């Protein structure tokens, strides 16, 4: 869709941007809220999968989530228009989140399929509408996407703190219902009249802020939740003021043609009826999904290579740069996406998340205590029973966590009745760090660019991979130095997330922009589709990598999770390999970066047509990757 001018502006940006900010924020709230619970739900819920099975399902699901936007984008461009596509996508995702609360295997896989299909319509097209609010050549466009990106991460920060907390503490279906509620608010914000949109934006923000302040375990979590709540309310106030001037223009996201779209909508919905059961099958049979990704990915790569060799020298070498950086990006996301699988279980099983409480001393030996069974008891014996995560999860499921405990000499130092932070809430760390550091990095690149010191795109990719690797070094070091029970200090986990976030801020924002700038005009859409396909494959690969950390045995409901001392080394060993691979890949990318910069042909015009845009390194700006 061509760019369009917008008369009414707030803080230099179209007022409609703030509608899209909150529509996307709530959609990401729903997506990441479900993701925060997904692996835990498959392992601890009624499905009772072992680690390996859960990781395969997770990998296939996230892979297809990133594969479908290519199709949804094409349908919007050719037939539906972005606005209709967003409404269809949001509706399908709301149905998917709602169905997640039904404890039935068929319903579970249909729910995942609805989310996959809905995401394909929603994800690419709301970003397209953001771009359409700005006129051609508007210098505020990149800054507008930066604001939009902050909305994405604000939603991602809120969701583990609310959906994750509620799902783990009160029941899985409550967490999924919150995700459903978030998706419905996002859809309402997008389609409602401006006045109702204002009420939904401000009311939803205030209600969520109140919930963030209510659901916490300690002073530390209250501070974290308070920061997110304050940011949310501030954003809502700004958006409400903006929407007093003007809402989302009625023609934003309209089709690129004048034909009636009713028939196209019906045909699309019929296609959805075919796609949903197909995706449900592919997620359930993850090996089939992997084979399909390999076939399509191999075909796309071969097609791009053929196109590169048929191109002139400058275009050919630029395509080589895109393909090489596409490979490094695939590695980055395959490692980064451990956050929702192996790192998530590592946090649950081996990171000490307990604060406060009372420490058992010598004077307690021989005493009987009534205590709340929790993570602090993992690895200890109560009589003849060893407390494992399996035992703890079963006690929580049966609501029998109050136990009579006889203190023995080897339990001196054990914490009793402390506050335990749910493991899923740590998945908010990355998004919170982005909210804090995103604008800092944007300013940093601008500062360096003004002095002609800004790193090139290949160097930024190198820095991203190296910092990601250092994040896994923090995880590995923590796992290599646990306490006597095999529990890891929470600081190593947070340091790892921080380094991964700074790596993401070096690599992610420039990826899509690099594709659009370096790809020949005649094939930019195809190259972009291949980029998303590579991201899809990286998510499938992430599930395979996570499988190496599986610590629960085969046997479905008979599977048991060992004590922390037996699992910490498994996680640490895999994290060490990931760290070495990521750092090594980053160093290799840094070594070849001079060649890649040369092949980018900065400042070279490939065709003589007047008005053709010149590719400059400074043009490769901030574009949201999520």
* Residue 4, phi-psi category: left (phi > 0), alpha (psi -120 to 50), beta (remainder): beta
Residue 152 and residue 123: Cα distance in Å, rounded?
A: 11
What are the structural domain ranges in the chain?
1-284, 287-353+422-626, 357-420
User: Which of the two residues, 80 and 574, has the higher pLDDT score?
Assistant: 574
Please state which of the ranges 246-260, 418-432, 458-472, 495-509 shows the lowest mean pLDDT. 246-260
Work out the average pLDDT over 47-60. 90
The angle subtended at Cα 534 by Cα 457 and Cα 466, nearest 5°, is 45
CA dihedral 238, 83, 622, 473 (to 10 degrees): 90
Residue 27 and residue 92: Cα distance in Å, rounded?
A: 12
Residue 626 pLDDT > 60, yes or no?
A: no
Strands (E), 344-399: 354-355, 358-359, 368-372, 381-382, 385-386
The pLDDT value given to residue 325 = 92
Q: Do domains 1-284 and 287-353+422-626 have the same CATH topology?
A: yes
What number of H helices and E strands is found in the chain?
20, 10
Please state which of the ranges 126-140, 488-502, 533-547, 563-577 shows the lowest mean pLDDT. 126-140
User: Which residues does 63 contact at the CB level (< 8 Å), separation at least 6?
Assistant: 289, 290, 293, 536, 537, 539, 540, 543
Nearest CA-CA partner of 620 in 329, 322, 316: 322
pLDDT in tens, 388-429: 998 998 888 888 889 999 999 999 999 998 888 999 889 999
137 pLDDT tier (thresholds 50, 70, 90): low
Whole-model pTM: value is 0.86
Residue 235 and residue 233: Cα distance in Å, rounded?
A: 5
Work out the average pLDDT over 1-6. 45
Per-residue tokens: 276? 């949903």
Class of the domain covering 287-353+422-626: mainly alpha
Q: What is the DSSP letter of 94?
A: H
Class of the domain covering 1-284: mainly alpha
The pLDDT value given to residue 275 = 94
Work out the average pLDDT over 471-496. 96
Residue 610 pLDDT > 50, yes or no?
A: no
The mean pLDDT value of the chain amounts to 85
Residue 20 pLDDT > 80, yes or no?
A: yes
Strands (E), 422-493: none
pLDDT in tens, 217-264: 778 888 999 999 999 999 899 888 888 877 777 777 777 777 887 888
Work out the average pLDDT over 68-73. 82
Residue 482 and residue 494: Cα distance in Å, rounded?
A: 15
pLDDT in tens, 277-313: 999 999 998 888 888 888 877 877 888 888 788 888 8
Residue 4 pLDDT > 60, yes or no?
A: no
């Amino acid at each position: 869709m061509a760019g369009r001018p917008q008369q009414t502006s707030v803080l230099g940006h179209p007022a409609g941007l703030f509608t899209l900010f909150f529509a996307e924020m709530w959609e990401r709230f729903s997506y990441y809220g479900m993701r925060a619970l997904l692996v835990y739900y498959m392992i601890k819920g009624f499905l009772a999968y072992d680690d390996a099975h859960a990781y395969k399902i997770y990998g296939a699901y996230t892979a297809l989530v990133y594969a479908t936007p290519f199709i949804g984008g094409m349908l919007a461009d050719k037939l539906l228009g972005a606005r209709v596509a967003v409404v269809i996508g949001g509706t399908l995702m709301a149905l998917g989140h709602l169905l997640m609360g039904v404890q039935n295997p068929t319903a579970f896989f249909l729910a995942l399929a609805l989310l996959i299909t809905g995401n394909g319509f929603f994800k690419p097209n709301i970003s397209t509408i953001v771009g359409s609010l700005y006129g051609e050549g508007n210098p505020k466009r990149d800054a507008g996407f930066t604001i939009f990106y902050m909305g994405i991460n604000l939603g991602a920060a809120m969701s583990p703190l609310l959906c994750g907390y509620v799902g783990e503490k009160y029941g899985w279906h409550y967490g999924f219902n919150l995700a459903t509620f978030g998706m419905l608010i996002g859809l309402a914000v997008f389609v409602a009249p401006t006045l109702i949109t204002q009420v939904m934006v401000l009311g939803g923000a205030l209600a969520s802020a109140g919930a963030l302040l209510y659901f916490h375990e300690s002073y530390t979590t209250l501070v974290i939740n308070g920061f997110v709540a304050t940011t949310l309310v501030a954003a809502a106030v700004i958006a409400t003021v903006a929407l007093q001037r003007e809402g989302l223009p009625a023609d934003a996201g309209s089709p690129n043609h004048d034909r009636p779209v009713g028939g196209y909508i019906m045909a699309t919905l019929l296609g959805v009826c075919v796609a949903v059961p197909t995706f449900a099958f592919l997620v359930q049979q993850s090996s089939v999904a992997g084979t399909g990704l390999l076939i399509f990915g191999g075909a796309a790569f071969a097609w791009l290579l053929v196109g590169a060799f048929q191109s002139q020298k400058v275009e050919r070498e630029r395509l080589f740069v895109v393909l090489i950086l596409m490979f490094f990006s695939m590695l980055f996301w395959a490692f980064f996406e451990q956050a929702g699988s192996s790192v998530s279980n590592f946090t649950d099983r081996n990171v000490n998340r307990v604060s406060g409480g009372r420490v058992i001393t010598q004077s307690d030996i021989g005493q009987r205590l009534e205590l709340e069974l929790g993570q602090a008891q993992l690895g200890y014996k109560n009589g003849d029973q060893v407390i494992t995560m399996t035992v703890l999860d079963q006690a929580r499921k049966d609501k029998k966590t109050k136990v009579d405990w006889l203190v023995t000499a080897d339990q001196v130092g054990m914490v009793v009745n402390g506050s335990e932070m749910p493991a899923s809430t740590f998945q908010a760390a990355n998004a919170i760090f982005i909210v804090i550091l995103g604008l800092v990095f944007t300013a940093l690149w601008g500062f360096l660019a003004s002095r002609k010191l800004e790193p090139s795109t290949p160097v930024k990719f190198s820095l991203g991979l190296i910092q990601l690797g250092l994040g896994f070094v923090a995880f590995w070091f923590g796992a290599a130095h646990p306490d006597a029970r095999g529990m890891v200090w929470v600081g190593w986990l947070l340091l790892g997330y921080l380094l991964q976030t700074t790596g993401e801020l070096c690599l992610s924002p420039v990826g899509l922009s690099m594709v659009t700038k370096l790809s020949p005009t005649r094939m930019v859409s195809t190259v972009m589709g291949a980029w998303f396909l590579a991201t899809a494959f990286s998510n499938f690969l992430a599930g395979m990598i996570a499988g190496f950390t599986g610590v629960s045995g085969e046997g479905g409901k008979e599977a048991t999770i060992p004590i922390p001392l037996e699992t910490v080394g498994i996680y640490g060993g895999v994290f060490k390999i990931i760290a070495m691979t990521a750092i090594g890949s980053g160093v290799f990318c840094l070594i070849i970066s001079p060649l890649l910069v040369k092949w980018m042909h900065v400042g070279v015009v490939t065709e003589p047509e007047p008005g053709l845009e010149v590719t400059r390194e400074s043009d490769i700006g901030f574009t949201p990757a999520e």
